[in-house]
A and B are shown apart, each in its own frame.
Chain A
Amino acid sequence: MSAAVFAAAPVIPSFGRGSSCVTDNKLFCWSWVREHWGDTLSKALVQHIELTLIAVVIGFAISFALALAAYRWSRLAPPIGWVAAILYTIPSLALFQLLAAVSWLGLSRTSAEIALVSYTLFVLFGNILAGLREVPADVRDAAEGMGLTEWQSLWRVELPMALPTIFAGLRIATVTVVSLATVAVFIDNEGLGAPIFDALQTTFKTELIAAGALAVLLALVADGLLVIAQRLLTPWARSARS
């Protein structure tokens, strides 16, 4: 922008060298996307996928453990659910900033991930637990009657039957994290939020649209992949669905 700053001259943001489309800040310029795919967009996309994967995997592991505990000891369920719901309600920008203000966390990927993980808990914990509790009592009785131990019944009967509900939660959590990871840019300058944030400073339209579209596409692709994974893991559900 420095080239455009002259005394008394109107401030015209400079969008660098490039085609007239870019310098005129037209709505969308393919030439810019082609030119900056490598140095800006693909890098941000990969970072965004990393942020999402880490948050969903850790969030799932924590939620799974908590849900199993709450399934076994039902008294645990309400307090865990409450804490998860409170975390889920806190606006993302506020939670990111509150975590970044913790001195040993600071502006870092760790702060971003802690917030992202905490947003997955409400949906994942709730759905894993609900999926397990929805298993009909006679099915559990049948498993017990066949001589399965409690642990065997859980892994071989109850969890497989809970899979559709668990996957529904996983889909919501994943798409949520993809969305919130764009907001993480305020404390961790990476992911697709980074090009969006840069472009907001100059209102450079092409970059705003390209990075925003990549975030939407990533959410849709992740959702689609989870649907495919669910079909592969629950072949018995296919006939029931149609």
Chain B
Amino acid sequence: MSDSGNALQFIGDHTGLLWHLTVKHLELTGAAMGIGLLIALPIGIWLGHLHRGSFLAISISNVGRALPSLALISFGVAVLGIGFLNAMVALVILAVPPMLTNAYVAIEGVDRDAVEAAKGMGMTGFEVLTRVELPLALPLIFAGIRIAVIFVISTATITSVAGGTSLGDVIVDQATYRLSGVVGASICVAALALLAQLLFTGLQRAITPRGLRVQSKRPVRLDTASVAPASTTTN
């Protein structure tokens, strides 16, 4: 990488700009995640609690995966025009499927015996949900959130071509920032994504009840029709 020296120099010379864009990048990510969470979690948890709508809850992540991010952004540009709204809508659409499917699978898959026992103890449906199902399902729900965060950070970079403000602004503008800027900003985005991954992996471990931790030693297996223990979405 002959340009890496220049790229590091670019990072050093433009810390203000890069920091500003990193903040914007995180704002875009946070806003999209917030809206996505409000849509995905209630639906996924509710369907899982009722053991209904498995086809919807599972196929939404398959369909979501088949939506190329750049294609989604281009539809957005055609319909909504270039700007913040288009970037936001694209990111929310990409963030919802993994969170919804994971929330559904997590709640739906809670050991039936545990649920029956809770009901036998006289818990209401709501109590079963909040005191049995949600705590047991939390790690998997969180895994879905982690997948979505990485996905949104990654795609926020690309929304720079359609009006989103992010570190991608530098990456897609080689005419202004030269190759050193493109590489420098790419290094920053990669670092941001890896840090987020580390942070959320750590958080996921921290919120996993001790009794469930043994399970995480199982090999990672991604299934088109079931749980997504790691990352099953496109960047």
Contact = CB atoms under 8 A, between A and B. Distances in A.
Contacts, number: 187
Given A123-B222, A196-B70, A199-B74, A176 B65 contact: yes
Contact of A183 (B70, B78, B197): B70
Interface string B4-16: 1001000000000
A127 B227 CA distance: 13
Contact of B68 (A85, A133, A178): A178
**Chain B interface residue count: which class?**
35 or more
Interface string B51-76: 00000000000100111111110110
A86 B194 contact: yes
B148 interface: no
Given A27-B79, A212-B71, A223 B66 contact: yes
Contacts of A63: none
A51 to B, nearest CB: 12
Nearest to B65: A175
Contacts of B4: 101
Given A97-B186, A193-B70, A89 B78 contact: no
B157 interface: yes
A64 interface: no
B183 interface: yes
B231 interface: yes
B66 A219 contact: yes
Nearest to A129: B219
Contacts of A81: 220
B75 A133 contact: no
A65 interface: no
Q: Is the interface of B mostly helix, strand, loop or mixed?
A: helix
**Chain A interface residue count: which class?**
35 or more
Contacts of A61: none
A200 B164 CA distance: 14
B77 A208 contact: yes
Interface string A181-223: 0110110000011001101100101001101110110011001
Nearest to A74: B219
Given A93-B157, A122-B231, A211-B71, A98 B190 contact: yes
A92 interface: yes
Contact of B157 (A91, A131, A169, A208): A91
B89 interface: no
Interface in B18-70: 62, 65-70
B74 A183 contact: no
B205 interface: no
A32 interface: no
A225 B166 CA distance: 37
Contact of B162 (A98, A127, A200, A209): A200
A168 B154 CA distance: 24
21 contacts: A88-B231, A90-B190, A90-B193, A90-B235, A91-B235, A93-B172, A93-B186, A94-B171, A94-B187, A95-B190, A97-B183, A103-B1, A123-B222, A126-B221, A127-B222, A168-B223, A183-B158, A200-B77, A208-B74, A216-B71, A223-B62
